[in-house]
Amino acid sequence: MKHIALYPGSFDPFTNGHLDILKRATNLFEKVIVTVAVNNEKKSVFSGMERIELIEECLKETEWGTRVEITQFTGLLVDHAKKMGARTLIRGVRQISDFEYEFRMALTNKRLSPTIDTIFLMPDEQLTFISASLVKEVAFWGGDLSSFVPKHVEKALKDKLQHSST
């Protein structure tokens, strides 16, 4: 049986840190499904479909992208994982301060669905400070994002923020 992992997140936007975690996950699993959480109550810069398209673009330049599928979901993560046939959830942990939230989330998911496990992966040390919220702040003020996100994400982010301010 194919072992499938699900890599969930808001990915608003997908950063170089996310890309690094995804690559590491494909080294461990035959197939990885990136799943974009679409929560109507959470204000996001990009729609679910836009986030999917930005992630697809990132994969074009990789040789492991063919083993990645991208979906979106609303509702409980464990329900989506079951629907997709995934028994493992992947989460990136950048520093100790991430861990408390991640641990609570993993335990909640385990209580909801005891057969689904969460695996934590660490990104490359150089990428540990990158967060989607800081990326948005730097983009808002027109800063250089070249070491934070892929080029097309930087362009999309700047287009979006410029568009929203007019």
Nearer to ligand PNS, 40 or 165 (CB): 40
CA 42/CA 165 separation, integer angstroms: 19
Assess 37 for contact with ligand PNS (CB under 6 A). Answer: yes
At its nearest, how many Å lie between ligand PNS and the CB of residue 106? 9
Cα–Cα–Cα angle for 116, 121, 124, rounded to 5 degrees: 165
* Closest separation in Å from C-beta 111 to ligand PNS: 10
Does position 8 interact with ligand PNS (CB under 6 A)? The reply is yes
CB of 3 to ligand PNS, least distance (A): 20
Q: How far apart are CA 87 and CA 3, in angstroms?
A: 8
Q: Rounded to an integer, what distance in angstroms lies between the CA atom of residue 150 and that of residue 41?
A: 27
Between residues 66 and 129, which has the closer beta carbon with respect to ligand PNS?
129
> What's the CA dihedral at 124, 57, 7, 82 to 10 degrees?
-170
* Closest distance to ligand PNS from the beta carbon of 107 (Å): 9
The CA-to-CA distance between both ends of the chain, in Å, stands at 52
Measure Cα distances from 129 to 17, 27, 28, 41, 126 in Å. Answer: 9, 23, 24, 27, 8
**15: which 2 tokens?**
């950063």
Site residues (CB under 6 A) for ligand PNS, limited to 64-103: 76-77
Name which of 28 and 76 has its Cβ closer to ligand PNS: 76
Residue 146 identity (one-letter amino acid): S
The residue within the footprint of ligand PNS, chosen from 62, 71, 72, 108 (CB under 6 A), is 108
Of 4, 10, 110, 121, the residue at the interface with ligand PNS (CB under 6 A) is 10
> Quick check: helix, strand or coil at residue 95?
coil
If the CB atoms of residues 34 and 145 are measured against ligand PNS, the closer one turns out to be 34
10 or 128, CB closer to ligand PNS?
10
Residues 117, 56: Cα–Cα separation, whole Å = 26
Residues that bind ligand PNS (CB under 6 A): 8-10, 37, 76-77, 105, 108-109
